[in-house]
Amino acid sequence: MRLKPVPLFLFLAPLLFFSSCSRGIKTRRFLYFGTFIDISLPKSADEKIFILLEDEIKRCHELLSVKSGVTEELNRKGLIRDAELAALITRVKKAHKETDGLFDPTVEPVLKAEGFSPLSEAQGAQPPDNVLKKALASVGLDKIKIEGHRVTTGGALLNFGGCGKGYLLEKLSQTLKENGVKDALINAGGDVLAIGRNAGKLWRIGVRQPGEKSFTFVLALSDKAVATSGDYENFVIRDGKKYSHIVSPVTGLSSDKKQVTVICPEPLEADIYATAFMLMDSDKALRMADARGMGVMIYGGDGQSVSNEIFREHLTR
């Protein structure tokens, strides 16, 4: 068996933006969450706002990291009192129900066993059947109990990799609004939030299809989030077949899709559903996106794409 591990975030995300190159924009780059976070603001914005934004990035990282901070402590101790984490898990539980259990942050034991977790001892190693079976048995968001600010895990382990960047974008948006910034573009490793406009015009965001180096199409957006999930960041090759880090919490099997891009107003929701749609039947994902007012484009394992009208309304070319 040929095993080729690929480090996390080795490849560029397929979703980037152009508009930060505008003369009226200044951009600062930060490295957290294992990826680059680019924040573009009007040149008139106070430089101190970037300090506040970085402080918020650090705080969210401390909240959500499985290696240190609040989530790590919860996983290690099985209990914690934290109002913010309790509120986030409550929202995640709702999404879990709405996606028929396909979005489940308690999939961490499976990710760890298969080498896709930051805590994995060896990346890409195919776990023995008994190890995978034990990992799957410990998955289940119903094990997580919320009582006020008190969170207990019931033996489950949490990993917010499927929604952490969306939550970060939400919190950064709040920081900007609190400080009077009405226009901004934030790119957190391919998850993008377009706030307001770029010198009066819609923000323009370039998206690459799987395997392409140049932009395939461009989205024009205002007050929208765009999240992309795919098999391009964290994967392994086993016997010539590609296995993605996006795995089913039910079977432990990797998604058979190449890429999903979701557009909607809320960055946390966009991130969650981009992950869930990777594991969902494409027709069902399109129906669910229509019902929720989301734009979606899906690239299947054969490289063929499907999208809904809401997504196509944002295309400029």
The phi and psi torsions of 256 (rounded to 5 degrees) equal -95, 5
CATH superfamily entry for domain 3-42+181-312: ApbE-like domains (3.10.520.10)
**What is the distance between the alpha carbons of residues 314 and 317, in angstroms, rounded to a whole number?**
9
Domain extents in the chain = 3-42+181-312, 64-162
CATH superfamily entry for domain 64-162: ApbE-like superfamily (1.10.3980.10)
Q: 68 Cβ partners below 8 Å, 6+ apart? A: 62
Look at the block and give the residue holding tokens 């795919």: 230
Look at the block and give the residue holding tokens 């997504």: 311
Element (H, E) at 56: helix 48-64
- The pLDDT score that the predictor gives to residue 243 is 61
Mean pLDDT by 10 residues, the chain (317 residues): 27 45 83 94 95 98 95 97 98 96 95 82 73 92 97 96 96 97 95 96 87 77 94 60 76 88 97 96 97 96 91 90
Q: Partners of 218 in the beta sheet? A: 206
Rounded to two decimals, the pTM is 0.90
- The pLDDT score that the predictor gives to residue 271 is 97
Q: Partners of 81 in the beta sheet? A: 150
- The pLDDT score that the predictor gives to residue 164 is 96
- The pLDDT score that the predictor gives to residue 234 is 60
> Angle CA(178)–CA(183)–CA(184) in degrees, nearest 5?
90
